[in-house]
């Protein structure tokens, strides 16, 4: 198991300047390698990778004092980063994607990280004192707010706005995951409530980006008034970046805490398999969906469930809000109708809670039953619902308890 730790760096004024120069040197190396590869293919139809470029860099650094100040292993990692960009480009070409995305030259604000592939080679965390040593930079004060577990493999130095961070990727070895016997839960994602559980619990949507919109608009207008290339424009750009970083940190803090709570509380977490990229095509809801950060939260729940031994299941989201979770009848309703009212069995409850119950019911059913019901749903919706409800009710321990826990 691998785990990453991210700590804030507090460099001095001179160290911050040297870090910026080093980052810019890596950016120039990336751009120069990209130019070399493009010209080699254009003039000679020759495809090259990071191996011959490393040999070129060995001789080039003897004549270029900016490259001479770089750690050789980190420079190789920058060249391999370009390899990954070309591999992704070729994959998109094979898949005939509409946008191929040929690797582009990196501008001053589009290259913000340096990777050190080996801890101890050019970078090292001092154990006795909370400081990070970087070659040609010196000892930098670091805020190590928690203890690092495992063996440090790679280190990445990251710049966000005017702040610096160090990201340590650690190998934990063989981790023994305990057996989890905690209760199961179904979760329905939404915009009115960030999530609703099958137990009836609602978590409010914080809407961090929406709250920061007035401040972002003022900072954007201030940036637009500044002359390009001026010092005031650079300062205005940094102010705008700091607001975006703050919003992202707030969102990340919220999703991490919530995902940790869910993973610790339950033994089975059932969610919908959402195609968020397709949902973003709705321009009326795209900003709200992006602000909710569903995919970020789902990925965090997934790996936290692996750590706690809980099972993470994604189910087909088709008709989860339309089906009655008690009798299995189809109850059509629009998006503006927030309550589920079944005329067949008389069940009345919140629309999202009804969907969460259906999600949990599908997750507890065997996969082949869910696939069979999904095939029938494309032709005979009513019969498919009956099949799904009947089969799920006869699976051992399949029917969830719909009674809310006592207050």
How remote is the C-alpha of 107 from its chain's centroid? 24
Task: Considering the candidates 18, 115, 188, 291, report the single residue annotated as catalytic.
Answer: 188
28 strand-pairing partners: none
236 and 96 part of one domain? no
> For 26-40, 62-76, 361-375, which range has the lowest pLDDT when averaged over its residues?
361-375
In Å, the largest CA–CA distance within the chain is 82
350 strand-pairing partners: 339
238 and 372 part of one domain? no
Domain contains 286: yes
361 and 287 part of one domain? no
Which is more confidently placed, 336 or 388?
336
155 and 20 part of one domain? yes
Domain contains 30: yes
Domain closes at, from 171, 193, 217? 171
Angle at 26 between CA 41 and CA 54, to 5 degrees: 50
Res 13 pLDDT > 90: yes
121 and 202 part of one domain? no
204 and 239 part of one domain? yes
Per-residue pLDDT reduced to its tens digit, 322-370: 888 888 888 888 888 888 888 888 888 888 999 999 999 888 874 544 4
Task: Considering the candidates 18, 115, 291, 352, report the single residue annotated as catalytic.
Answer: 352
> Residue 38: pLDDT band by 50, 70, 90 thresholds?
very high
Compute and round to an integer the Cα radius of gyration of the chain: 26
Compute the average pLDDT of residues 376-394: 46
Q: Could you give the CA distance from residue 247 to residue 255 in angstroms, rounded to a whole number?
A: 12
The whole domain housing 110 covers 2-171
137 and 12 part of one domain? yes
Res 403 pLDDT > 50: no
State residue 115's pLDDT score: 96
Mean of all residue pLDDT scores within the chain: 87
Domain closes at, from 252, 282, 314? 314
251 and 135 part of one domain? no
State residue 367's pLDDT score: 53
Domain contains 108: yes
| Phi then psi dihedrals of residue 82, to 5 deg | -70, -35
Q: Could you give the CA distance from residue 79 to residue 114 in angstroms, rounded to a whole number?
A: 11
377 and 330 part of one domain? yes
The C-alpha torsion from 277 through 278 and 279 to 285, rounded to 10°, is 80
Domain contains 63: yes
> In total, how many domains does the chain have?
3
Q: Could you give the CA distance from residue 113 to residue 156 in angstroms, rounded to a whole number?
A: 7
Is 18 labeled as catalytic in the residue annotation? Answer: no
Per-residue pLDDT reduced to its tens digit, 118-168: 999 999 998 777 899 999 999 999 999 999 999 999 999 999 988 999 999
Which is more confidently placed, 172 or 387?
172
299 and 351 part of one domain? no
Per-residue pLDDT reduced to its tens digit, 79-97: 999 999 999 999 999 988 8
Q: Which of 81, 96, 91 is nearest to 37 (CA)?
A: 81
Task: Considering the candidates 115, 199, 272, 353, report the single residue annotated as catalytic.
Answer: 272
Q: Which of 164, 157, 120, 147 is nearest to 3 (CA)?
A: 147
Q: Looking at beta carbons, which pairs linking 400-404 to residues 24 or more positions away fall under 8 Å?
A: 400/184, 400/186, 400/198, 400/357, 400/360, 400/361, 400/364, 402/198, 402/325, 402/326, 402/357, 404/199, 404/200
Residue 264 in tokens: 């610790």
State residue 1's pLDDT score: 80
Domain closes at, from 171, 198, 214? 171
Is 352 labeled as catalytic in the residue annotation? Answer: yes
288 and 327 part of one domain? no
Res 109 pLDDT > 50: yes
Residue recorded with tokens 């801890």: 119
Domain contains 178: no
Domain contains 23: yes
Per-residue pLDDT reduced to its tens digit, 182-240: 899 999 999 989 999 998 899 999 999 999 999 999 999 999 999 998 999 999 999 99
User: Which distant-in-sequence residues (6+ apart) come within 8 Å of 3 by Cβ?
Assistant: 149, 150, 169, 170, 172
Strands (E), 99-215: 113-116, 123-126, 131-134, 138-143, 151-160, 163-171, 184-189, 193-197, 202-204
Q: Could you give the CA distance from residue 333 to residue 354 in angstroms, rounded to a whole number?
A: 12
User: Which distant-in-sequence residues (6+ apart) come within 8 Å of 277 by Cβ?
Assistant: none
Q: Is 341 helix (H, G, I), strand (E, B) or coil?
A: strand
Which is more confidently placed, 262 or 384?
262
- Kindly tell me the burial class for residue 297, based on how many C-beta atoms sit within 10 Å of its own C-beta (0-12, 13-18, 19 or more): buried
The C-alpha torsion from 371 through 373 and 379 to 382, rounded to 10°, is -170
State residue 135's pLDDT score: 94
Is 188 labeled as catalytic in the residue annotation? Answer: yes
35 and 167 part of one domain? yes
Domain contains 18: yes
| Phi then psi dihedrals of residue 53, to 5 deg | -70, -30
Per-residue pLDDT reduced to its tens digit, 238-295: 999 999 999 999 999 999 999 999 999 999 999 999 889 899 988 889 999 999 999 9
Domain contains 159: yes
Q: What's the first-to-final CA gap in the chain, in angstroms?
A: 38
User: Which distant-in-sequence residues (6+ apart) come within 8 Å of 334 by Cβ?
Assistant: none
């Amino acid at each position: 198991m691998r785990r990453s730790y991210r700590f804030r760096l507090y460099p001095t004024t001179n160290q911050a300047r040297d870090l910026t120069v080093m980052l810019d040197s890596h950016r120039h190396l990336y751009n120069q390698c990209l130019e070399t590869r493009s010209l080699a293919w254009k003039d000679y139809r020759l495809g090259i990778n990071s191996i011959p470029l490393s040999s070129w860099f060995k001789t080039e650094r003897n004549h270029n004092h900016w490259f001479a100040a770089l750690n050789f292993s980190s420079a190789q990692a920058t060249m391999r980063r370009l390899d990954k960009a070309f591999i992704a480009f070729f994959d998109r070409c094979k898949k005939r994607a509409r946008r191929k995305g040929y690797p582009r030259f990196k501008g001053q604000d589009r290259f913000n990280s340096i990777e050190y592939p080996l801890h101890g080679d050019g970078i090292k965390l001092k154990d006795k004192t909370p400081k990070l040593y970087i070659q040609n930079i010196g000892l930098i004060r670091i805020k190590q707010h928690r203890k690092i577990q495992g063996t440090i493999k790679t280190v990445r130095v990251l710049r966000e706005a005017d702040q610096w961070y160090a990201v340590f990727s650690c190998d934990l070895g063989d981790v023994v995951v305990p057996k989890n016997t905690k209760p199961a839960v179904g979760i329905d994602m939404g915009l009115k409530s960030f999530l609703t559980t099958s137990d009836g619990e609602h978590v409010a949507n914080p809407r961090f980006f929406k709250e920061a919109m007035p401040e972002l608009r003022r900072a954007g207008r201030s940036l637009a008034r500044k002359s390009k290339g001026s010092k005031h424009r650079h300062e205005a750009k940094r102010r705008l970046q700091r607001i975006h970083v703050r919003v992202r940190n707030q969102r990340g803090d919220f999703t991490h805490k919530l995902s940790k709570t869910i993973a610790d509380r339950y033994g089975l977490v059932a969610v919908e398999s959402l195609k968020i990229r397709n949902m973003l095509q709705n321009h009326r809801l795209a900003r709200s969906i992006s602000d909710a950060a569903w995919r970020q939260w789902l990925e965090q729940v997934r790996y936290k469930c692996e750590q706690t031994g809980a099972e993470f299941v994604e189910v087909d989201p088709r008709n989860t809000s339309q089906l009655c979770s008690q009798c299995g009848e189809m109850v059509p309703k629009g998006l503006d109708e927030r309550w589920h009212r079944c005329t067949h069995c008389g069940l009345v409850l919140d629309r999202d809670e009804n969907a969460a119950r259906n999600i949990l019911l599908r997750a507890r059913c065997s996969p082949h039953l869910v696939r069979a019901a999904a095939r029938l749903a494309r032709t005979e919706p009513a019969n498919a619902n009956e099949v799904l409800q009947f089969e799920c009710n006869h699976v051992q321990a399949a029917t969830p308890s719909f009674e809310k826990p006592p207050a």
